[in-house]
Amino acid sequence: MTASEARKDVTAGRRSHPVSGGPVVQLPSEFGVFVAQAWTDLVTGIEHLAVSSPIPPVDGKAPLVRLHSECLTGDVFGSYRCDCGEQLAYALEKISEEGGTLLYLRGQEGRGIGLANKIKAYALQEAGFDTVEANEQLGLPVDARCYNAAAQILAELGLHEVRLLSNNPDKQNRLADAGVTVVEMVPTEVPSREQNIRYLQTKKDRMDHRLVLDSQEAEPVAASPSAGPAPFQHEQD
């Protein structure tokens, strides 16, 4: 039995997650020209966006794929409390150069706890808790994200074997459970900052993220008059 046949057998035994895709349009950006397609999760009603390079993957490799969880504070406002916006930019640059797809997964703010709860977690972090402890203090899961819709969108796009742009091995495991084979994990580590180094260390130590950290220095950032003495940290990968 070939790998393709084995994958079909596995997929046939697994109930698919209903999603619906819209029209494909061009999306010119500072990172290059992409094609974009909106997808609706028919179970939750949440809308996601697939942003793909029109070029085939280089050297016949499996396509790069980034599952990027929505982060309003990092992606839109450029928050230094996390590395989300910088990872988003890095992933788009890599996909533009090497081919692949970024799925922008909405409804996953703060690793799935929502924007308001994420701000509550920030307040607890400023009181001394780390990102894991803050969620626990709120009675919330450390990571509430679900990747069923993402896996189904990848399947609909014909992306059954991917090179995953992530530092988070949990994403690899979740995709494997959903029938998507991750043939390689491609790191997305970006330089740390004074404001997020504790958060990144927590992800490495307590959530098994594949981060180096000790080989890179925090990027100097001008002090803010409103910033407290403790480093800020939270967010996701």
Nearest to 151 by CA among 185, 101, 199, 117: 101
Tokens 């994990």 map to which residue?
185
Catalytic residue, from 81, 145, 163, 193: name it. Answer: 145
Rounded (10°) CA dihedral 78, 79, 83, 84: -60
206 catalytic residue (yes or no)? no
User: What is the DSSP annotation of 23-77?
Assistant: EEEEEEETTEEEEEEEEEETTT--EEEEEE-SSPPGGGPPPEEEEEE--IIIIIT
User: What is the DSSP annotation of 160-213?
Assistant: -EEEEE-S-HHHHHHHHHTT-EEEEEE------BTTTHHHHHHHHHHS------
* 3-class state of residue 13 by DSSP: coil
145 catalytic residue (yes or no)? yes
* 3-class state of residue 130 by DSSP: coil
Catalytic residue, from 41, 75, 130, 143: name it. Answer: 143
Separation between Cα atoms, residue 97 and residue 31, nearest integer Å: 9
- Tokens read off for 211: 């981060």
Active site positions, annotated: 143, 145
